[in-house]
A and B are shown apart, each in its own frame.
Chain A
Amino acid sequence: MPVRTLKAAALAAALSLGLMAAPGAQAAEGHIEIPDTRFAFDGLFGTFDRAELQRGFQVYKEVCAACHGMRLLSYRNLRDIGLSEDQVAAVAAGYQIQDGPNDDGEMFERPGRASDRFRRPFANDAAARAANNGALPPDLSVITKARVGGADYIHALLVGYEDPPPAGVTVMEGMHYNKYFPGHQIAMAPPINSDGQVQYADGTRATVDQMSRDVSAFLTWAAEPELETRRAMGVRIILFLIILGGLTYAVKRKIWADVH
């Protein structure tokens, strides 16, 4: 018995080691340690902090949205972060959305509706580059899933600017030094650069760190809006399976009792 158990354990360990090697390998590039930020959604059972998501949306809307689109989100999705129907309608109506063609064959602008996708800041990628010194601000819809480190990385990036850069580092024209950006030279100027840059309605002090965290949380929700449903369902399903597994094992023992 012990020999066999040991063998199985060794195999399981080897397999999990092999599996861990894969993401580990990918994270190794660049060797920049991303500091761990504590978020409400951390861990296996974490959930979103609605107030934080709403503050994060405010930061996105007032700061990031000037250059970064979120083309996969619709205004109606904001109901998930606790906005009422009326609030969502009001947010949407604050944007002019191009629609058409109308009966005369003309494109026209109208106030946004809840069903509209987030309005994109630029008409196309070329326009975005032209306005940003040749750099393309990436769409932020799934950004936390698209970067090693996720929300931790976004937060680190937003607070990781150093001006002037460390001694001995020359930063190219139009670039900025950032501790956590791969290669350390980023075209984006520090977007969140002074305390009180946005006015939070709930009275939270809008420090650079606070705003950076809030928007990182908001972007995590945007990338994984199903996170809470998923985890809640997972808990129920795994508990069910454990009970079912126990019963099945008992049945197995009973059936096999007479043939051992």
Chain B
Amino acid sequence: MIQGITIYHFLIVSTLMFFIGVMGFIIRQNLITILLSIELILNSVVINFLVFNRFLYPDQLQGHFFGLFIVGVAAAEASVAIALIINIYRRIQNIDTDEVNEMKF
């Protein structure tokens, strides 16, 4: 156990990460940055899983497994998202969300 560092410190970090991710998702224009923001959100959740597992049920491993699982899914999701972004870029030479509105209305 790391001395002097309580569960709250971890949760504060993960909450900050989560809201930074949400903020980034909402305000950024660039699709790659949005993807990064989504990764931030996912990873803040992964931290939560690990921290709760570690502090509340130290003798079990479900949280760790979930964490690994989310990392795996996040990698797959990132690859799909990047494939989409590349295709959009090929089509309109741009990856700003304001420009990707061809199918609006």
Are A and B associated in one complex? no
Question: Residues on A close to B: CB < 8 A?
Answer: none
Give the A-binding residues of B (Cβ under 8 A).
Answer: none
